[in-house]
Chains A and B, each alone.
Chain A
Amino acid sequence: DTAVSQTPKYLVTQMGNDKSIKCEQNLGHDTMYWYKQDSKKFLKIMFSYNNKELIINETVPNRFSPKSPDKAHLNLHINSLELGDSAVYFCASSQGEDASYEQYFGPGTRLTVT
């Protein structure tokens, strides 16, 4: 049973294009996250939603727009892609927004911008 799934797994696109990454969790969790892991392997929080409400919005270019249609889904849309957007994007979920809840990560989406 897949707990947190992301599509696509790989995404290769050209600068200036717009793309979306989808995330779904079947754990019944209330909180979902988007992280970016760059080539130096730093994992950085981008956004977090709790019950479809945005609760964490880090300093991310406004070309990145998350959308949560329901609490099981959190999608990430990126406009006007740039070379520096190349990274692995991980979706994650947790039971709630309390610090004691572990986060479950999806398999990641490797985005390459050429």
Chain B
Amino acid sequence: GQNIDQPTEMTATEGAIVQINCTYQTSGFNGLFWYQQHAGEAPTFLSYNVLDGLEEKGRFSSFLSRSKGYSYLLLKELQMKDSASYLCAFDSGGYNKLIFGAGTRLAVHP
């Protein structure tokens, strides 16, 4: 079957670093996505990993290990505006069909 897990909630301090983990199980896999969703708004794309390793994009980095079914999103120099839900999703092997996790709600405190 297909399954994707991530923590429900996390808190962190402004200026700190936070890592949001995601584990998945699937028979078909075409890549791992991270999306950001502020409350009441649409999800917006953050990153895409299809090969093992780390992809860095400004303050955000995303890591993938296909053999372990594991990914993480690393947010550095946290800002208050980073308070949002972070959705992990994998493409299950065709037609850009994304399977989303329930999301991790991150609260950044001063």
Show the binding face of A for B, using Cβ within 8 Å: 4, 31, 33, 40-45, 48, 50, 55-56, 90, 94, 96-108
| Interface pair B42/A106, CB less than 8 Å apart | yes
Task: Kindly identify which residue among B31, B42, B45 contacts A99, using a CB–CB cutoff of 8 Å.
Answer: B31
> B109 interface residue, CB < 8 Å from A?
no
| Interface pair A31/B43, CB less than 8 Å apart | no
Looking at the assembled complex, report how far the CB atom of B81 sits from the nearest CB atom of chain A, in whole angstroms.
18
> B50 interface residue, CB < 8 Å from A?
yes
Q: Which residue of B lies closest to A38 (CB)?
A: B102
The segment from B12-20, B52-60, B61-69, B93-101 that touches chain A is: B93-101
| Interface pair B41/A99, CB less than 8 Å apart | no
Of the candidates B43, B44, B48, the one having the most CB atoms from chain A within 10 angstroms of its own CB is B43
> B21 interface residue, CB < 8 Å from A?
no
Task: Kindly identify which residue among B41, B95, B103 contacts A50, using a CB–CB cutoff of 8 Å.
Answer: B95
> B85 interface residue, CB < 8 Å from A?
yes
Inter-chain CA distance A40–B101, complex, in Å, is: 11
| Interface pair B96/A101, CB less than 8 Å apart | yes
A94 / chain B contacts, CB cutoff of 8 Å: 96
